Amino acid sequence: MSLLNSKFDILRGYPNGSALVWPFAIETAGGPPAVPVSLPGGTLVTQKLQGSQTVVNTLTTPDITGFRPKEPWLVVEGNDDFSGQFVGKCACAKLTTGIIFETDQYEAGSYAPGAALCALGGKIKEAGPTDQIIGWVLENRISTKGTVVVSA
């Protein structure tokens, strides 16, 4: 499912179980020719409209006191492998459906078990009091593997 040097892994919920997976087109930038943004496995994304097509790009969760929450998705097969590059799409699992994953894509923080998480630029981050929560820390493996296990 993933590249050999990646530390991203789905531990529970995909491909079987409660996860909802959908293929999304990847947002393009620049051009011509337009170049797809980089969305490797483990990136947190959300949908947006580009022209008349639904595409995904990195997720930064909003301050929910003034904005509507965004729908969080997790890239399980991105354009860091050849099939995603060829078709310009990525397979994404909907978060908040009971998926458990391990990632090395995180902002600096303590990541105590049970801590609420939000997203910043496609990476997990410890949530503040007004951030949209997308999951919780299940296990901190930063000192041993350089990863955080997330329940979402």
Arithmetic mean of pLDDT over the chain:
90
- pLDDT classification of 59: cutoffs 50, 70, 90: very high
- Alpha-carbon gap, residue 114 to 91, rounded angstroms: 28
Record the tokens describing residue 45, joined without a space: 């994304």
Q: What is the pLDDT of residues 110-134, one digit of tens each?
A: 999 999 999 999 999 999 999 999 9
As to burial, measured by CB atoms within 10 angstroms (0-12 exposed, 13-18 middle, 19+ buried), residue 57 is buried
For residue 16, pLDDT over 80 is answered with no
| CATH no., domain 9-151 | 2.40.300
pLDDT band at 100; cut points 50, 70, 90: very high
DSSP 82: H
pLDDT of 54 over the 60 cut: yes
Region 71-91 average pLDDT? 91
